A = this chain, B = another copy of it.
Amino acid sequence: MARRATTDGKAGTRGGGRTVTSYDVAQRAGVSQSAVSRCFTTGTSVSPQTRERIMKAAAALGYQPNAIARSLTTKRSNLVAVVVANLGFNPELTATLSRLFASRDLNLLLFTLDHEEDADRVVNQLWQYRVDGVLSATHLPRGHIEQLAKRRVPVVFLNRVYDDIAVNSVCCDQVEGERWLVDRLWAAGHRRFAIVSGPDSSLVSRQRVSGARDRIAALGGDEPAVAIGDFTYDGGRAAMRALAAEARRPDAVICANDMMAIGCIDEIRLEMKLKVPKDMSVVGFDGAAPGRWGSYALTSVRQPVDVMIEAAIDMLTARVDNPAMATEKRVFSGELQIGVSARLG
């Protein structure tokens, strides 16, 4: 590339090619080079008059400070790595993250993981770009979490917790949400429950499934049949086909996320030729946009995604400023989303 940076780490490029440095700006503005430097560094100050002179000179010369070079001295890159799983990729999450990051002047380095082995590659990149922190909406291998801790790169998990190591996390209360759903289904008279789980490797799925199962047991219900899905529409359809083949047809199907619930509804209507919720109730979890479409009008638990992401960013930036800050978990309640896919009591 033709762009150049000077060793002082503050550089722009003129149309002609020569690099504009903070020295050039200082000369033109008639101020010291260190004033120019302070003017472009968060948390330092120059007088309003000086700032105005500097900004005018910078604009005239096309000067831009170099964030990457600056990160070498300030130890802040304003880059946050976001790690999401490709499977069960939540588009609304990514869009919300990007919007809220922008409002905080943070930039988003996006990584998607197909397999756990990819975590090696991703974590290597994290070192290389000196990210300020990591926000992970997927499971990371324990060894990597320990490495990040050792190198004092704060990590906040979204909806992921670990049984045996302490990590910062922001979660939706999965168990509470499932309890609400089961209680309302039970009150409406459902007794033949079935569950469509996510993959075994997903902790969120395990929490939601055991939340539902434990509540059914507490109410004195029979052990529900469980079919394993993969968080996708097609996975939901396949799981529903498996449940339909069971001797005892369920009257309520509890799905570990909305996409699978949508798949179940289509399978029930299009293949089993039954009505939802007259013949069978279906509930999901997440509050995904397609679940609110007229054809589905899914009964579900809406996660407060905006609030959760704001909290995660707060948690992360607090630890960028103070890496010694204690590990913290924040758990938010979801909100019951009443659609027409389930008879509720």
This protein's copies in its complex: 2
A13 to chain B, nearest CB (A): 5
Q: A130 is contacted by which of B68, B110, B132, B152 (Cβ under 8 Å)?
A: B68
A178 to chain B, nearest CB (A): 25
Asked if A307 is at the interface of the complex by the 8 Å CB criterion, the answer is: no
Interface string of A76-93 (1 = CB under 8 A from B): 110100100010010100
A146 to chain B, nearest CB (A): 10
Can you list 12 A-B contacts (CB < 8 A)? A3-B152, A9-B72, A12-B127, A13-B152, A64-B124, A68-B130, A79-B129, A91-B94, A102-B112, A107-B125, A266-B295, A295-B295
Q: Which residue of B lies closest to A297 (CB)?
A: B270
Do the beta carbons of B77 and A68 come within 8 Å of each other? Answer: yes
- Give the chain B neighbours of A71 by CB distance below 8 A: 68
Q: A5 is contacted by which of B72, B109, B121, B262 (Cβ under 8 Å)?
A: B72
Asked if A345 is at the interface of the complex by the 8 Å CB criterion, the answer is: no
Asked if A248 is at the interface of the complex by the 8 Å CB criterion, the answer is: no
Asked if A15 is at the interface of the complex by the 8 Å CB criterion, the answer is: yes
CA distance A290 to B259 in the complex (A): 10
